[in-house]
Structure 1
Amino acid sequence: MNFLRTNYLIAFGPNVYGIRSASPETSFIKYNENALERFGNLSCWWLHFSYALIKYISPFWICHLLRSIPDYDFQTVSRYFFSAVSICSLVYVSREKVKQRRFLESEPLLQNGSSLNAKFNAVLSWLLANTIGIRLLYPASMSWFHNSVQFHLRQGRLQLFDEFCGIRYKIRDKDGEYIDCMLFDRRDSKSFSNGNILVITCEGNAGFYEIGLPRCPLEANFSVLAWNHPGFGSSTGMPWPKNEQNAIDVVIQFALSKGFKEEDIFIYAWSIGAYPATWAAMNYPNMRGLFLDATFDDVLPLALSIFPSSLSALVKSTVRTYMNLNVAEQLKQYDGPVTFVRRFRDEILSTDHSSLNEQMRSIRTNFLINIFLKNRYPSVFKDDVALEWLSYTPVERAVNFARLEDVAEKLFGSTSASEFVKNDQTMATLTREELLSVVFHSVLCSSISFHNDMPFVNMLFVVCENVSVAL
């Protein structure tokens, strides 16, 4: 029995990457594989890679294989094939509608043509979302991507074990998917001044915690809980919006079960990681704060800028139905501290690349900050004055700096900026240039101190040109 169990574990058990060390100098000793083990691991890697490659190029080689069959009518079989796929997709998309009697009864009668067209668009949306859509949005969820960085993930994980003494966990969400995470609990150590504050990291669409965000808060002496998106690394599932919500929810519940208070949890998110981060802030309003680095307001404008305009209706339907990552709407529901980092030359988050100035103006971080400020401080940030200021290039800012300073001096007089913005009647009579000077003076002038009774409480706006940011 032991012999069978041993051979089963050899074939299907976990790999050995390191051995716990009794020495205080290092927590792990790297395990050196012998030639047979290296051959077996390499063979398994190639099998996984080949399977993923065959799966993704299957439409091409299946067509080539069918063309090589004698007396094969390609058009006839293609019609049958795509008809079968369309029927199966239609059944899958509408699988829940039969149960919704009220929904069916309340629907107005449609013309046959428009009804068929709507069903066809629904099928196309489902196909687009489940084939290239979700994989373009989260490229690290593809198995070949994971296989290509597996060595670096392993090395990064060992370094986190060795240098920062992290403990790895596998936690299960309410849908049964497993989330790979690592906890660095520093509450009991006097050498870490910020150990009582837990920073939860949320990676980007091609990021893994093994080689991603945790090092920054770890070096700043915080406790850290890092996790991988569903389908990333050793996490199971796919990063659909609902799965992302379940993942961050179970991560926070895990932190609470470890004795951390909600008031001591801070979320540090990069790029698309802002979606689960803002969802968590919306549902856990007592959190200590959010740090949003290089993120966007809504994924739809970014998707529309990538695809041809002829497909805009299909893209909009697909995004809104299956990948509706609306960060700004979730952030509106959170009243706590928020820190933004915007990068002037961010090509990924720009929707207009016709010139450098237009690229800087179209960064979606600008729109996120503008929506956030208008929602939280409507009497100050109205008529998109914040967006206008954010759209200025550095040269334009230098030109307008002196002018806005003069306007602010005449406007405020002997009144402090903190008292001035509290007067709603005065704010309602300001011109656009005067509003812009208030925005400039309040957000970017370091001479103003923000207190709890000010409308700008708990909001820090950071404009960052370099590519590295410290927490």
Structure 2
Amino acid sequence: MGFFSYVFGPKLYQEYGLDKKLYEPGGLERFGDQIISTLSLMWNISYYTSPFIVTFLYKRGYLVADSISSFAKFTTSIGIIVVITLCIRGFGRTQSKSYVKMIRAIEMSKLSSDEETKRALRKFDFDFSSWQVDFDARSVQGDDKKRQLISASSRDTRQLRFANLPCKLAAYFAIHTFGIRMIYPGYIKILQNYLNSFLIEGRAKLVEEHNAVRYKVKTVDYNEIDSIFVDNRQNSLNGNTLVICSEGNAAYYEIGIMSTPLSLKYSVLGWNHPGFAGSTGAPYPEQDKNGIDAVVQLAIHRLGFAVEDIILYGWSIGGVSALWASNLYPDVKGVILDATFDDILYLAQSRMPESLSGIVRLAIREYCNLNNVESIQNYNGPISLIRRTEDEIISEDNRIETNRGNYLVLTLLKYRYPLIFKTSQLTRMKKLLSRPVDPKNFSLTNDDLCMSRLITYASDQGKSFPMRIGEDYTEETRDQMADFLLRKHFRDYKSTHCTPLPKDYFGIPWDIPIENGFVFT
């Protein structure tokens, strides 16, 4: 353990178990951090404004051979300042008891990977880039493990065939610059820097109050996913079920949706999208698919959960990740989608000038095709959708009839029960969804009859979808069944988009029981 371990060591945020919440560096370490942070900020500003800087220098005549020596002296001076600053910071760190203990734990983890060493390391919250990989998804990618997502990204081939090169270039540039950051604001580093103290506090709460364990997971495309696990298998019957939480486009597991299943004592696994907080990469579709795949692999091969004991829980754009995982692991216990849309295209087009709708369509379909309509038809297991009646994000002007979740639930029901949800019933459902659905507005007698019919059909024909039940139904019977199925798959919550979901709205999604003699399984 040499001096260089302190010079180039990770930034320490907190030592768990102490009264003080955040790690407070000493004078020399703080001084070094401030200078390095300032230089880093200046470099980032220079990088993003480099075209303007180069233009300015060129017009002033600085970009000539005679200026090379001046630039060399300038960069050498900056380099000397950086080296001196790093040494000052390193010396300051050697005077900190917490930092010395962390460095010792890191050095021991390099020599041994036993649980005692890892527990010593997990007493500290430090820069996640220096965290060692706990699980590598590539290690379980044998022939029997290699599976592709069923919901491959679709493309409008007609649009692509006739799109000219300028439109393609514009679409590519739009997505890979501001577009991906508009879709996933949580990917923006400035926002992450602003929220950093809240993220540290959120992790500390999970670790200290719920005994959470943090894991670094490597994906098949070499990204490193920041995840955290709360094990409640010894504390509650619900703990035998694992809820994997996929966050929204500006949310992180530290301050996200994990609190709802935790309040019900489920075991919970949270993760951050690629490029969010401690996760590397960027939240493009393929990277996000590999991210959620690696997290599920962690749950199965490292944490010891069976696929049948996993619930996939997605909020907002996290519903895309949850559905991708359900396509890859169709035997999961269920999927819960909260405040989720049908297709990102319609949300993107509504927020961009109409004149750019063609480029927006090309950009989305080609590079960021977040299409839940396709994915939801590739999953046949139990599923529950929650709509926010005052949603301001996936609705137009907070009008409930424009909520994109309406189209998603209608797609689900039409696919699963095509003879129930014919044109007349779909029209009726659209009208019903144009106002809050009253869960108390039903008849117990009709519900018992609908359940009996479903059980009989499923016991005789199986539960594979689409079900052909309802071919000989009257219009009244079809209406009753449609209402019943809507309420079993769909629930309203009177709130805006970002309000935490109360625990009363969270539960294992409904499934049709199968009659086996006198026993329902």
TM range (shorter): 0.7 to 0.9
Q: CA deviation at 1:50?
A: 4.3
Which letter does structure 1 place at the counterpart of 2:332?
M
* TM-score (normalised: structure 2): 0.67
1:14 matched to 2:10: yes
Give the aligned residue type for 2:238: N
Choose from 466, 479, 482 the match for 1:439: 482
Q: Does 1:333 align with 2:381?
A: no
Q: CA deviation at 1:213?
A: 1.4
Q: How far apart, in 2, do the equivalents of 1:272 and 1:117 lie?
A: 28
1:171 correspondence with 2:217: yes
Asked whether 1:233 is paired with 2:277, we answer: yes
Distance 1:47 1:230, change over 3 A: farther
Instruction: List per-residue Cα deviations over 1:217-276 (Å, max 9, x = no partner).
Output: 122111111110000001000000000010011101111112110001111111111111
Query: Given the alignment, which residue of 33, 37, 40 partners 2:32?
Result: 40
Which stretch has the larger CA shift, 265-274 or 42-51? 42-51
Aligned counterparts of 1:123 and 1:322: Cα–Cα separation in 2: 12
- Tell me, yes or no, if the aligned pair for 2:242 and 2:268 is still in contact at 8 Å: yes
> Counterpart amino acid of 2:333?
R
CA distance in 2, matches of 1:390, 1:9: 64
Partner of 2:189: 143
Match of 1:460 in 2: 489
Displacement of 1:12 after TM fit? 2.6
Give the structure 2 partner of residue 254 of structure 1: 298
* 1:282 match: 327
Summarize deviations over 1:88-118 as a string: whole Å, max 9, x none. xxxxxxxxxxxxxxxxxxxxxxxxxx99961
2:78 corresponds in structure 1 to: none
- CA change 1:269–1:425 in 2 (3 A) is closer
Q: Distance in 2 between matches of 1:419 and 1:218?
A: 34
Gaps of 5+ in 2: 64-159, 458-468, 507-521
Specify which of 104, 107, 121 is matched with residue 167 of structure 2.
Answer: 121
- Shift in Å, 1:343: 0.8
User: Which 5+ residue runs of structure 1 have no aligned equivalent?
Assistant: 73-113, 445-458
Distance 1:342 1:53, change over 3 A: farther
C-alpha RMSD of matched pairs (Å):
3.2
Q: Retained in 1: the 8 A contact 2:257–2:500?
A: no
Q: Residues 418-443 of structure 1: CA distance to partner in whole angstroms, max 9, x if unpaired? A: 4578763333x638xx8556533553
Distance 1:468 1:63, change over 3 A: same
2:354 maps to a residue whose letter is S
| Pairs aligned (count) | 387
Report the Cα distance in structure 2 between the residues aligned to 1:414 and 1:302, rounded to whole angstroms.
36
Q: Kindly tell me: are residues 255 and 430 of structure 1, through their superposed partners in 2, closer, same or farther at Cα, counting changes over 3 Å?
A: same
In the TM superposition, 1:166-205 aligns within 5 A as 166-187=212-233, 189=234, 191-205=235-249
- The residue aligned with 1:324 is 369
Q: Are the equivalent residues in 2 in contact too, given 1:121–1:314 (CA < 8 A)?
A: yes
Q: Which amino acid aligns with 2:33?
A: N
SS in 1 for 2:229: strand
CA distance in 1, matches of 2:448, 2:30: 73
Q: Would the aligned equivalents of 1:202 and 1:277 in 2 still touch at CA under 8 Å?
A: yes
Give the aligned partner of residue 388 of structure 1. 430
- What are the superposed Cα offsets for residues 449-470 of structure 1, whole Å, 9 maximum, x if unpaired? xxxxxxxxxx431111133422
**Which letter maps to 2:27?**
A
**Alpha-carbon separation, structure 2, partners of 1:140 and 1:415:** 46
The equivalences for 1:321-400 within 5 A come to 321-350=366-395, 352-353=396-397, 359-383=399-423, 384-385=426-427, 387-394=429-436
2:71 alignment counterpart: none
SS at match of 1:275: helix
The Cα offsets for residues 126-146 of structure 1, whole Å up to 9 and x where unpaired, read as 111111111111111121111
Assess, with a 3 A threshold, how the Cα gap between structure 1 residues 126 and 181 changes in structure 2: closer, same or farther: same
Tell me how far 1:64 sits from its aligned partner: 6.9
- 1:199 and 1:44 map into 2 onto residues whose CA distance is 40
The structural deviation recorded for 1:35 is 2.7
CA contact (8 A) 2:337 2:386 kept: yes
Shift of 1:62: 4.3
- Percent of aligned positions with the same letter in both sequences? 34
Deviation of the 1:120 alpha carbon: 1.8
Matches within 5 A, 1:272-311: 272-311=317-356
Query: Structure 1 counterpart of 2:262, which letter?
Result: L
Cα pair 1:168 1:183 within 8 Å, conserved:
yes
Which amino acid in 2 is paired with 1:160? L
Amino acid at match of 2:284: W
Distance 2:428 2:231 in 1: 39
Mapped partners of 1:289, 1:313: distance in 2: 37
Which AA in structure 2 matches 1:440? D
Larger relative contact order (Cα-Cα within 8 Å, sequence gap ≥ 6): 2
Change (3 A) 1:32 1:58: same
**1:171 match: secondary structure:** strand
Residue 333 to residue 168, structure 1, CA distance change in 2 (3 Å): same
Alignment partners' CA distance in 1, 2:323 and 2:388: 20
Conserved 8 A contact 1:385-1:436: no
Among residues 144, 149, 154, which one is paired with 2:200 in the alignment?
A: 154
Residue pair 1:28, 1:161 contacting (<8 A) in 2 also: no
